[in-house]
């Protein structure tokens, strides 16, 4: 897994040092370097960014102000010469807060933290997608009395054929669900008991 990242810093030397640190870590992919938040905004609109290395004191706009204005935020590691924004940065839910000059060791630690966060969020996304799929397998939807009715397969006791219609009896309702279908049509929508 690679984290696509950008650097946002008004100092060219600072951008170069962060860039050198990024190139030391194989899971980071630098896609842009920006001199100010306005350039960064353009990149964020055009490209998918996982991680942003963001300076705070920049002419035109503070990094914290820029971050607060973003609707869809990538993960952020602040890289700044000022310690007085640390408390505010935690309110902004950033990955880490690095003080310049940053050692390669401290930089690496912050980046691994970002990688772990990305892996956790991907695991949660995959888990919810698996749950959605299993939900789909546990239910069927049928048209009944001018509406769509969700029927949990585990509650079906039996299905009775009535020419062009079927009655579905469930444990959750005393009234059968009547829908226009054949017995075979309903049977095909139920999971195979042998699989």
**What spatial distance separates the first Cα and last Cα of the chain, rounded to whole Å?**
34
Global pTM reads: 0.66
- On the 0-12 / 13-18 / 19+ scale of CB atoms within 10 A, 190 is exposed
Give the strands of the sheet with 51-54, arranged side by side: 28-34, 3-8, 51-54, 75-80, 96-99
Please give the pLDDT value at position 38.
Answer: 94
For residue 183, pLDDT over 90 is answered with no
Both structure tokens of 54: 């963001």
Torsion angle, CA of 37/43/45/46, rounded to 10 degrees? Answer: 170
Please give the pLDDT value at position 87.
Answer: 84
Q: Write out the E strands in 82-172.
A: 96-99, 139-144, 147-152, 156-162, 165-170
Just give the CATH number of 3-133. 3.40.50.2300
Average confidence (pLDDT) over 55-81: 94
Domain with CATH 3.40.50.2300 in the chain: 3-133
Per-residue pLDDT band for 121 (boundaries 50, 70, 90) equals confident
- Cβ-contact 32, 6 below 8 angstroms: yes
Rounded-to-integer distance, Cα 142 and Cα 168, Å: 10
Q: Is 179 helix (H, G, I), strand (E, B) or coil?
A: strand
Place of tokens 């963001």: 54
Q: Is 84 helix (H, G, I), strand (E, B) or coil?
A: helix
Average confidence (pLDDT) over 21-45: 96
Please give the pLDDT value at position 195.
Answer: 43
Rounded-to-integer distance, Cα 59 and Cα 48, Å: 25
Count CB atoms within 10 A of the CB of residue 67: 22
């Amino acid at each position: 897994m690679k984290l696509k990242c950008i650097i946002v810093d008004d100092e060219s030397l600072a951008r170069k040092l962060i860039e050198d640190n990024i190139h030391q870590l194989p899971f980071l992919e630098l896609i842009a370097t920006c001199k100010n938040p306005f350039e960064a905004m353009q990149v964020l609109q055009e490209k998918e960014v996982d991680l942003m290395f963001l300076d705070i004191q920049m002419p035109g706009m503070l990094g914290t102000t820029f971050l607060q204005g973003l609707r869809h935020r990538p993960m952020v590691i602040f890289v700044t010469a000022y310690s007085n924004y640390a408390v505010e940065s935690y309110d902004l839910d950033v990955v880490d807060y690095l003080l310049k000059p940053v050692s390669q060791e401290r930089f690496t630690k912050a980046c691994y933290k970002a990688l772990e966060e990305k892996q956790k969020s991907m695991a949660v996304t995959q888990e919810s997608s698996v749950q959605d799929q299993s939900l789909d397998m546990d239910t069927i939807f049928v048209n009944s009395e001018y509406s769509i009715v969700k029927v949990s397969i585990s509650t079906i006791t039996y299905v009775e054929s009535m020419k062009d219609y079927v009655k579905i009896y469930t444990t959750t309702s005393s009234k059968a669900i009547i829908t226009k279908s054949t017995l075979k049509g309903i049977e095909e929508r139920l999971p195979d008991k042998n699989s």
